Amino acid sequence: MAGDIFFDALRTALGPTAAAYALLAIGLNVHFGFTGLLNFGQAGFMLVGAYGVAITVSTFGGPLWLGLVMGLLAAVVLALILGIPTLRLRADYLAITTIAAAEILRLLVRSTAAEPVTGGVFGLRQFGDDFFAVNPFPGGRTFFGPLAASPNRAWVMLVGWSLVGLMTLLVWMLIRSPWGRVIRSIREDEDAARSLGKNVFSYKMQSLVLGGAIGALGGALFALSLQTVQPDTFLPQVTFYAFAILILGGTASTFGPVIGAVIFWFLIGSLQSGLRRFSDAGMLPDFFGAQSVGAVTLTFVGVLIMSLMIFRPQGILGDKKELQLDVS
Amino acid sequence: MARVSRLGLLVLLLLAVMASIAAPALAQEAEQIGGRISSEGEGVPGVEIGVATPDGEAVGVGTTDENGEWSVELPASGTYRVTIDTTTLPQGVELRDPERQELEIRVSEGASATALFALGEREEAGSILGQRLAQSVFNGLKFGLIIAMTAIGLSLIFGTTGLINFAHGDLVTLGAFLAYIFNVVLGLHLVIAGLIAVVLTAVISGAIDAGLWRPLRRRRTGLISMLVISIGLAFVIRHIVLFFFGGSRRPFNDYTLQIAMNVGPVRIQPVEVWVMSLSVLILVGVALMLTRTRLGKGMRAVADNRDLAESSGIDVQRVILSVWVMGGALTAVGGIFLGMIESVDYLMGFRLLLLMFAGVILGGLGSAYGAMLGSIIVGLVSEVSTVFFSSQLKYVWALGVLIVILLVRPQGLLGQKERVG
C-alpha cells in the first residue's frame, strides 16, 4: 500500500494541477517575494485567466489564442483596478482589497445575471478542443511506469511544465535586470528607492501586472487541463495554496515556486491518497467520509503555512536575508 | 469587455428568437416540459415560457391556455433551462420569488417534466417599494449590528498590535459551533449553551494570544509574517470545524419556529428583536467600557500610541491579552446571533470576515467606534441593495464599498489621516 500511495502522490506532484499552481506561485513570488506586495487575491487572477479562455471559446465561439489574450488582458485590467487605489497605501490594504476583489469576481461570475455569458454556477465546458487537436502524443499510454498518463494529460503536462520553465526563466532574467534591482529595493526600503528618484508606484504597478498575468496563465492552464471552469473552483483558499507553495519552496528565490509546487502536491497527494486508501480498507473510523479527507488536507495546509512561517520562513531554497519584510 | 459581452448577449437573443420561430415546426412527439401557471387557484392565460438548452440555445416557447396550462416539446432528453417571461404576466401578478424566474430541469428519456413557477406575493416582503425598503433597512441594521460586534475585536487587535487577524472570522464560526455542540448535541438550552460558548471562545482567543502571538511578538516577527500565520491559523480552525461539523447548514434547537409580527410595514420575529436589543446593549457596554474603565482607557491608549502607553506605566502585554479575550467573546456572541437568525455552517465566519474588513476600513482601521459605524453601514448597504439588485450580489455591493472608500478616503470615516502611509 505504501508503494501505491507513493506513486499516487508522484502523479499528483507532476500533474497539470501542480504545474498550474507553480505558475500561480511564480506570480505571487513576483508580488510578495520580490516586491513585497501582499496579494491575497491570486485566485481572482486565476479566475480571469480561466474564464477568459472559456468565455471566448465556449460563449462566443472565438479561437483559443484569442481566449488566452483576453484572459491575460483581463488580468492586466484587474491589476490596474486593484493597484490604483491600494498601491499608495500600506501593504495590508492591498491584501484586504485583493481578497475582496477575488470574491467579488467569483460572486459576479456565478450570479444568475451573468449566466448567459459565464454559465453561472454550472460554468462552461469543452473549450479546449483546439488545444487537444494539436496534441502530438499518439493514442494509448504515454510515458512509462508510474508516470503513465493518457495522451491528453501528457500533453497538458508537457505544455504546463514548459510554461513553468519559461516563466521561471523570464522572472530570473527580470530579477537580475536593473528593473529587478529596483523592485527589490522597493521591498527593502520604499522611501530609499523613492529618494533615488524611482517612481515607486509605477514599479509596484508593473510588478502587480506581471505577477497577475502569470497567475492568469496558470488559470488558463488549469481550465484547459480540466476542459471545464466552475466559479467555486476559485475560492480564496486557492490563493493560500499558492502561498503555502511559495513559502515552502522559498520566498524570493527563483526556483522556489517550482520546487515548492512539486513538494506541496506530493505531500497533498500522499495525504489524500493515504486517507482514501486507509478509509477504503476500513482502517479509519466510520464518520471519516469523503468530506473529511478535504477537511484534513486543508487543516494540514494551515499547519504547514503556520509552522513554516514560524520555524523556517525562508523555506527550502530561500535566503533569510531576502526576507526582511515588514509593513511600511 | 462590457461591449463584447453585450454584443454576445444580443447575438444570443437573436438566435433565441430565430430558434423559437423555427422550433414548433420541427416538433415531434417526444419528451416535453410543461406545467400550470396559476394565481390564487385560477389559471393564468397568455403567459410565455421559454425553454432552452444549458448552452442558451432556445428550444421553444410555450404559452399558457385558458386553464393556465402550457407545454413545450423537446428534441431529446437532458437538462433544460426554463424561463418565464414576467412581462407577459397580467398586471398585479408577479413571481413569488423573483430569483426563480429561471429553472434548471432534468428530463429523462420519454418522460414529461413539470416546471413550477409560483405566483403571488413575496413571502418576506410586500411588493410595494417602500415596504421592501423598510424591511431591508431593518434587516440591514440587524446584520450590521452583528458585524459591528465581531469587528470591534478585529479593529482593536489591529490598533494594539498592528496585526490584521485573518483568523477573526473563524473565531465567529468557532463560537457558533461551540454553542451548537452544547445546544443541539448536549441538549442544553441555547441561552446556557451560548454563555458557555462565549466564555470558551474568549478563553481560546486569549490562549491564542498568550501561546502564539506573544512569543512571536517577543521574537520580533514581522507583521506580514504574522499576517500569513494568521491565515494558517484560520485554515486550521475552519477545517477542524468542517471535520466535526460537516459542510451543511444547521439551525440551533431553540428560537427557530417563530411567528413573525407585523410592525408597521416590517415583519419582525421576536428572536430578531432580542438579537438586536442585546447587540445594542453590548455595543453600548463596550463603548462605555472603553471610555470609562481603566482597562478600556488602557486599550485606547495602546491603540493610539503603544510606546507612549508603555512608558507611562501601562502593562501593554496585559492590555493586548484583554483585547484578545474581549474580542473573542464578542465574536462568539456575533456568531451565535448570526446562527440564531440564519444558521450555523463552517464558512459563516469567513463570509463575515470580508464584511468585517469592509466595515473596519470604512470606519477607520484601529478605531472601535469607527468599526461600529462602518459595520452598520456595510450591513445596510448589503441588505438595501437586494431591493434594487439580485440578492446573490449583496456581498458584492458591500465589498464594493470597501474599494470605493480606499479610493476616496483611505483613512476611513473616523480614522486619523497620518495612520496611512
3-state secondary structure of B126: coil
Name the band, by pLDDT with cuts 50, 70 and 90, for residue B14: very low
Name the band, by pLDDT with cuts 50, 70 and 90, for residue B30: low
Name the band, by pLDDT with cuts 50, 70 and 90, for residue B377: very high
Among A89, A296, A303, select the one facing B410 at the smallest CB separation: A89
Rounded mean pLDDT, B362-366: 84
pLDDT value of residue B207: 96
pLDDT value of residue B56: 64
Name the residue in chain A with its Cα closest to that of B229. Answer: A306
3-state secondary structure of A93: helix
Q: Which three cell numbers stand for residue A13?
A: 506532484
Residue from A299, A304, A324 whose CB has the most chain B CBs within 10 Å, to mutate: A299
Tell me which residue range forms the domain holding A9. Answer: 2-137+149-323
Beta-sheet strand order (sheet of B32-36): B69-73, B32-36, B112-114
pLDDT value of residue B127: 62
Rounded mean pLDDT, B39-63: 75
pLDDT value of residue B2: 42
Query: Exposure of B387 by Cβ count < 10 A (0-12 exposed, 13-18 middle, 19+ buried)?
Result: middle
Query: Exposure of B323 by Cβ count < 10 A (0-12 exposed, 13-18 middle, 19+ buried)?
Result: buried
**Kind of pairing, strands B32-36 and B112-114?**
parallel
pLDDT value of residue B130: 84
Rounded mean pLDDT, B196-215: 96
Question: How close does chain B come to A150, measured CA to CA in Å?
Answer: 28
pTM > 0.90: yes or no? no
In a domain, residue A328? The reply is no
Among A302, A310, A326, select the one facing B236 at the smallest CB separation: A302
User: Which of B324, B415, B317 has the alpha carbon at shortest distance from B370?
Assistant: B415
Rounded mean pLDDT, B98-109: 72
Rounded mean pLDDT, B198-226: 93
In a domain, residue A11? The reply is yes
With beta carbons less than 8 A apart as the criterion, state whether B230 and A310 touch.
no
Q: Tell me the backbone φ, ψ of residue B79, rounded to 5 degrees.
A: -100, 135
Question: How close does chain A come to B17, measured CA to CA in Å?
Answer: 15
pLDDT value of residue A136: 83
Does the pLDDT at position B10 exceed 60? no
Put simply, whether B270 touches A (Cβ < 8 Å) is: no
Does the pLDDT at position B277 exceed 80? yes
A-facing residues of B in 54-83 (CB < 8 A) are: 54, 56
Superfamily (CATH) of domain B35-123: Immunoglobulins (2.60.40.10)
Contacts 24+ apart (CB under 8 A), A281-284: A281/A1
3-state secondary structure of B262: strand
Are B406 and A237 in contact (CB < 8 Å)? no
| One pLDDT digit (tens) per residue for chain A, 328 residues | 788 889 889 888 999 999 999 999 999 999 999 998 999 999 999 999 999 999 999 999 999 999 999 999 999 999 999 998 888 877 788 888 899 999 999 999 988 888 889 988 888 988 988 898 888 887 776 666 666 778 888 899 999 999 999 999 999 999 999 999 999 999 888 889 999 999 999 999 999 999 999 999 999 999 999 999 999 899 998 999 999 999 999 988 999 999 999 999 999 999 999 988 888 887 777 667 767 888 999 999 999 999 999 998 888 888 777 665 544 3
Among B229, B243, B393, select the one facing A299 at the smallest CB separation: B243
Q: Using an 8 Å CB-CB cutoff, list chain B residues near A74.
A: 1
pLDDT value of residue B92: 67
In a domain, residue A142? The reply is no
Q: What is the ipTM of this complex?
A: 0.88
Rounded mean pLDDT, B91-102: 71
User: Which of A12, A35, A53 has the alpha carbon at shortest distance from A190?
Assistant: A35
Does domain B129-419 fall into CATH 1.20.950?
no
Q: Using an 8 Å CB-CB cutoff, list chain B residues near A107.
A: 392-393, 395-396
pLDDT value of residue B55: 64
Are A90 and B420 in contact (CB < 8 Å)? yes
Query: Exposure of B413 by Cβ count < 10 A (0-12 exposed, 13-18 middle, 19+ buried)?
Result: middle
Are B223 and A327 in contact (CB < 8 Å)? yes
Domain ranges of chain B: 35-123, 129-419
In a domain, residue A87? The reply is yes
A-facing residues of B in 236-255 (CB < 8 A) are: 236, 238-240, 242-243, 246-247
The rounded distance, in Å, linking the Cα atoms of A248 and A264 is: 8
Count of structural domains within chain A? 1
User: Which of A165, A327, A88, A86 has the alpha carbon at shortest distance from B225?
Assistant: A327
Q: What is the CATH number of the domain that holds A67?
A: 1.10.3470
A-facing residues of B in 385-404 (CB < 8 A) are: 390, 392-393, 395-396, 399-400, 402-403
Are B232 and A111 in contact (CB < 8 Å)? no
pLDDT value of residue B19: 44
Are B406 and A101 in contact (CB < 8 Å)? no
The mean pLDDT value of chain B amounts to 83
